[in-house]
A and B are shown apart, each in its own frame.
Chain A
Amino acid sequence: MSLRTALKALPTMLRIGFSEAVAYRAEMIIWVLATTMPLIMLALWSAVARGGPVGRFGQAEFTGYFLAAFCVRQMTSSWVAWLVSYEVKQGTLAMRLLRPISPLLAYATEVLAGIPLRVAIVLPVLGISLWVAGAERAVPTSLGGWGLFALGIVGAWLITFYLNVLLGTLSLFLESSQKLMEVYMVLFFVCSGYMFPVEFFPPGVRTVMEWLPFRYQMGLPVELMTGAHATKEAWELLAAQWTWVLGLGVVSMAVWRRGLARFAAFGG
């Protein structure tokens, strides 16, 4: 596969992906409804905040934070791990491999093509957040802030995608990586800032969180969106995030190549 073929095919693949997303819009709605955890957490933390603020978080801050978490989850979600392990099990990966485009690129475009539809869902939530929490707690207030947030959310998308590829590919080595995916979900829920802001962890645990990738999948973009960091701090965190992006990119591609060498589909 040359880069030119891939680039030429990209618009078509995105168009196909988008049409699929529209065709299965009911499924998409169900997925969105299934990610209501931030809203439930919002209810819980609002109950806590009724007795007074927690750290820098009052009612409005919690609203801004968890609605932002909902939006970030929508924009960065990836189901590639399940897709890869399913296709490995069914042997249909063989068909993907016959095409002159890397399957990974195909998975990536499939996820990306869903984003316009997801934006349509995110926008009203963002509107509510702006209305309830106020602009400075819901979105970046400066152009530079928007830039940092854009970097952060792209990084988060890439980390999630690479982790998914890694987990999915492991199913080529272990018979099933289903249990591993469950463990990943647990870690993601607890460590990423999805259920509560990472800063609520005690200091020692927090240092560990800073070293793990999960915080950069959710917590960082949410904090950048709600303007929790000064510019210098934001750049430092973004540097850590993009280090993870590069590292995971290299590792997941290597594991994917080695895994493919092991892949043997019957009749494929």
Chain B
Amino acid sequence: MNAKRYLRLLGVQLKASGLLALQYRADFLAEGLTSLAWTFTALAPLFVVFNARPSIEGWTFQESLLVVGWFTLLQGVLEGAISPSLTGMVEHIRKGTLDFVLLKPADAQFLVSTQRFLPWRAVNVLSGVGLFVYAFVSLGRWPSLPGVFASLVLLGTSMLILYSMWILVVSAAFFVVKVDNLTYLFTSIFDAARWPSSVFRGSLAWVFTFIIPLALMTTFPALALLGRLPWTWLVGAVVGSVAFAAMARWVWLMSIRHYTSASS
């Protein structure tokens, strides 16, 4: 009953964003071009690096392309589905209109995180898939069925983690009002997910695996596609991401409680 109501709500919000996107069809071209440009940025150092070496830390060029592919795909998800509505949330806090959201008879976190989507960003997902196809064609083989299945599970967990990290960033907006920079900070940290996580050593490796689980978001799915991901890691990823999401939810509820409305 309740789930049905939320699904319907989600449908309404999606439809509204879809209609809005259809108004600006020229954006499709612009999205496509910028997505290609960003993919190129992600690839440029890769070309340069692998020009110097055939393989880095056990990753060949084609295998690293898979990581970049996952990065591009997730970037599309992030910029198309997660960040627009949460940027709107920051606006709410600054203008004091969050009060209206909190008064509505639905969960506030659900409402703020579904208020806006940018469907054209799906172009990024397409370029990600394009990279997978290219990488596997040049590897001369295809991923196994369990591998594809595992990577899809991991796609789910990475999206959950990305979303939770965003919730954490936005919760910070209650304390630091100028948060447009925080979103920028987040994107630049996410940048590190472009490269196979084995590149990072020492404390950086520890941070990127446990504190900001970047390894889990792009390197694990790439390993799964290659059929090199141990099952225990997959289970760990699922458990870890659920725990992470629960933590984010708890922080969100705390921040809402801390929030004093604009008028008080």
Query: Smallest CB–CB gap between B178 and chain A, Å?
Result: 5
Interface residue from A35, A45, A190 paired with B44 (Cβ < 8 Å): A190
B189 at the interface (CB under 8 A from A): yes
Does any Cβ of A come within 8 Å of B262's Cβ? Answer: no
Question: Total contacts A to B, CB within 8 angstroms?
Answer: 77
CB of A251 closer than 8 Å to a CB of B:
no
- Of residues 27 through 43 on chain A, the ones whose CB sits less than 8 Å from some CB of chain B are 27, 30-31, 33-37, 40-41, 43
**Residues from chain A with Cβ under 8 Å of B239 in the complex:** none
Which residue on A lies nearest to B189, using beta carbons?
Answer: A36
A267–B201 Cα gap in the complex (Å)? 57
Number of interface residues of A (CB under 8 A): 31
The answer to whether residues A48 and B201 also contact, given A27-B178, A189-B41 and a CB cut-off of 8 A, is: no
* C-alpha gap A30/B189 in the complex (Å): 12
Tell me the minimal C-beta distance from B85 to chain A in angstroms: 19
Q: How far is the CA of A179 from the CA of B32 in the complex (A)?
A: 12
Instruction: Encode contact with B along A49-64: 1 for CB under 8 Å, 0 otherwise.
Output: 0010011000000000
Q: CA of A41 to CA of B199 in the docked complex: distance in angstroms?
A: 10
Chain A: minimal CB distance from B115 (Å): 20
- Taking the closest CB of chain A, its distance from the CB of B7, in whole angstroms, is 34
- List CB contacts (< 8 Å) of B181-199 with chain A: 181-182, 184-185, 187-189, 191-192, 195, 198-199
Does B37 sit within 8 A of A, measured CB to CB? yes
Whether B184 lies near A182 (C-beta < 8 A) is no
> 7 new A-B pairs (CB below 8 Å) besides A47-B198, A47-B201, A201-B48?
A33-B185, A34-B181, A43-B199, A44-B195, A47-B56, A51-B53, A190-B41
21 A-B pairs within 8 Å (CB atoms) are namely A24-B178, A26-B176, A27-B176, A30-B181, A33-B188, A35-B188, A40-B191, A43-B200, A43-B201, A44-B195, A47-B56, A47-B57, A48-B49, A48-B53, A48-B56, A179-B30, A183-B37, A186-B37, A186-B40, A196-B48, A200-B52
